[in-house]
A and B are shown apart, each in its own frame.
Chain A
């Protein structure tokens, strides 16, 4: 099948998770803020101050079954789509402001494995380059079937 890997149709076989853990229990949301969309978030919001920020591509939380427990917990969040969102220059400036003004502790970019998603990492890097402060940047790449393919410091 040809075409863009980011929008190509695929269906996944239902997989046995191999565990019954938590199937019957309700899990609490780990989200501690609102809004979360990158155009709507304000770097001046108090919850961002000195926090560890997760910059997740829109598709990531749908792909990762345990996104809340394993990745969102303890972090603040901003989401964006590098393929479809307009005005991405604003995103770069907001990341700069998060680093310099909210003095965030770390930035973790969580992206899908599809090539267009690496645009979000590029946005994160540009924002960090523009900032006067330096902070660590981590990159987590998620497969379409919800596995963490890599988790590395940039």
Chain B
């Protein structure tokens, strides 16, 4: 079993697709993940399943991988059940920012309908969307993850690489949208913004439900205080105007599309 635990989840699922189905039953959604290079060992740990569920998951995977073995279900001491989880203040700050980013990402569908239908592309609207993504989602939010939070993790972990790779891919899509706006290429605008929407939706779910709780559980009280201070300093350096103008744009989008 140890060999498989140290393999990437993608490799394990390729060797035996039933493993992907079993993971899905425990809401571990590695099958649709675009990268899926996390080690199976890390995947199991990161999801912090209740003790009995984790033991059963391991038992079922080992049975699937080694049907000839007499696999035993690991006994779990009473009391190791999943506790109600509350984010630390800096982590809650990131989750709250995700709420705004998810709102913008959801509006991309409406924006793209206009791009497809209107005779002239509404460049101002598109550039405001791009500005929100580059300023709020990237400079204001992702920078805190990359420059501050991930410094408190093992950066060589696959899950961190996956998240960083998502950021790079997202930036690529947005640059491609900017280029397509310049040339008036509607298909490219639609294709890259659609891809960005799908990527960010999955990315935020991964962070909110898996990565952030896992990082948070490993932080000491003192580290939480340090991260909170560094986030405040990073926000102060960018100034209050950046979040204000982008959240204001989000409100205008809400008004624009709510009335339709």
Contact = CB atoms under 8 A, between A and B. Distances in A.
Do they bind each other?
A: yes
B127 interface: no
A106 B221 contact: yes
A134 interface: yes
B225 A153 contact: no
A72 B89 CA distance: 22
A136 B222 contact: no
Mostly, the A contact residues are strand
B89 A136 contact: yes
A52 B221 contact: yes
Contacts of B175: none
Nearest to A74: B222
Contacts of A153: 86-89, 92, 224
A105 interface: yes
A136 B88 contact: yes
Interface in A122-154: 134-136, 138, 152-153
Interface stretch (B2-10, B194-202, B226-234): B226-234
Given A153-B86, A153-B87, A153-B88, A106 B232 contact: no
A87 B228 CA distance: 31
A118 interface: no
A38 B77 CA distance: 41
By size class, the interface of chain A is 10 to 19
B228 A135 contact: yes
A136 B228 CA distance: 7
Interface string B51-75: 0000000000000000000000000
A152 B86 contact: yes
B20 interface: no
Nearest to B226: A105
B200 to A, nearest CB: 27
Interface residues of B, number: 14
B230 to A, nearest CB: 11
Nearest to B87: A153
A113 to B, nearest CB: 17
Contact of A52 (B86, B87, B90, B222): B222
A138 B228 CA distance: 13
A106 B224 contact: yes
Contacts of B87: 153
Interface in A21-36: none
A108 B87 CA distance: 15
Contacts of B228: 106, 134-136
Contacts of B88: 136, 153
A144 B222 CA distance: 27
Nearest to B83: A150
Interface of B: 86-90, 92, 221-222, 224-226, 228-229, 232
Closest 4 CB pairs of A and B: A105-B225, A106-B225, A136-B89, A153-B88
Interface of A: 52, 74, 105-106, 108, 134-136, 138, 152-153
